[in-house]
Amino acid sequence: MSQRRFGVSMFCVLAAVLTLSAADVPTPPVAKKVPHVTKIHGRTLVDNYFWLRDKNNPDVAAYLKAENTYTDAMMKPTEAFQKRLYDEMLSRIKETDVEVPYQQGEYFYYSRSEKGKQYEILCRKKGSLDAPEEIVLDVNALAIGKPFMSVAAYEVSDDGNLLAYTIDNTGFRQYTLAIKDLRRERSWPITRKKSARWCGPTTTRPCFTPSKIPPSGSTVSIGTPWEAAVTIILFTKKRTSVSMFTRAKPAARPSSC
């Protein structure tokens, strides 16, 4: 959008808001002041709005609802213009599109989008771009029934069998690490971390040798005892990241009765 068109758009918004009569203008909400004192480095800091950090406080929800109501009332004269702007911006976006693929191991990985869907679809093809498509992770499916969805980490193990990914379904940047077995289309939530990577002696990205595996690693097993279960050993590198080392644990399938 050119600078001139942007200026015209802002003028239209302002003109529409100014059409509100004095009787139609609602009273803006005012957040109450609740002094919160923090003493640090010999200084005293007072934050009157610290209470707004508490997401579980019903007063916070009530205040945010009042702000939204006020905004809706003030912007109501611009609703038609807002839709026109949205439709124009959407018309300039290629909704159904495919990203340039990249090769990792035996697979070509890429993401694509579909018209009418909000999130990307992460895919791969084995050996050739002409091979059948395999959906590794459909973020739209993850988002069903959730108010929000964001994928941060997206790491496939070197053998192409396991996917480590982290999701935030609240919008508060609180990510949960999950492991997906791409051979069986099953996922397991593991721990609350934002970033993750595969490493260790069984990968091409070694972080340590078998004789020097850090002793602080926690373990979790995925798969059933009669499947080729895998133990994931987690090593926290930082507060928000984790490195993972896999160890296969094949077990005999129980005999049927």
What pLDDT score was predicted for residue 188? 76
What pLDDT score was predicted for residue 236? 54
Q: What are phi and psi of 58, to 5 degrees?
A: -60, -25
User: Angle, nearest 10°, between helix axes 79-91 and 3-18?
Assistant: 160
Cβ contact 140:119 at 8 Å: yes
What pLDDT score was predicted for residue 112? 96
pTM (predicted TM-score)? 0.65
Cβ contact 149:139 at 8 Å: yes
Task: Write the pLDDT tens digit of every residue in 88-103.
Answer: 998 998 999 999 999 9
Provide the residue type at 256 as one letter: S
Contacts 24+ apart (CB under 8 A), 66-72: 66/29, 67/29, 69/26, 70/26, 70/27, 70/28, 70/29
What pLDDT score was predicted for residue 205? 47
Cβ contact 227:248 at 8 Å: no
- Neighbour count for residue 187 (Cβ, 10 Å): 16
**Encoding tokens for residue 224?**
């059933």
Query: Minimal CA–CA distance to 235: which of 251, 224, 206?
Result: 206
* pLDDT by residue, tens only, the chain of 257 residues: 555 665 555 556 555 555 666 667 889 999 999 999 999 999 999 999 999 999 899 999 999 999 999 999 999 999 999 999 999 998 998 999 999 999 999 999 999 999 999 999 999 999 999 999 999 999 999 999 999 999 988 988 888 988 888 899 988 888 888 888 898 877 777 667 666 767 654 454 444 333 333 444 454 555 443 344 455 555 555 555 555 555 444 334 333 32
What pLDDT score was predicted for residue 257? 29
What pLDDT score was predicted for residue 172? 83
What pLDDT score was predicted for residue 9? 59
Task: Write the pLDDT tens digit of every residue in 115-169.
Answer: 999 999 999 999 999 999 999 999 999 999 999 999 988 988 888 988 888 899 9
What pLDDT score was predicted for residue 175? 86
Pairwise CA distance, residues 163 & 156, whole Å = 4
Query: How many CA atoms within 13 Å lie on the side-chain side of 11?
Result: 6
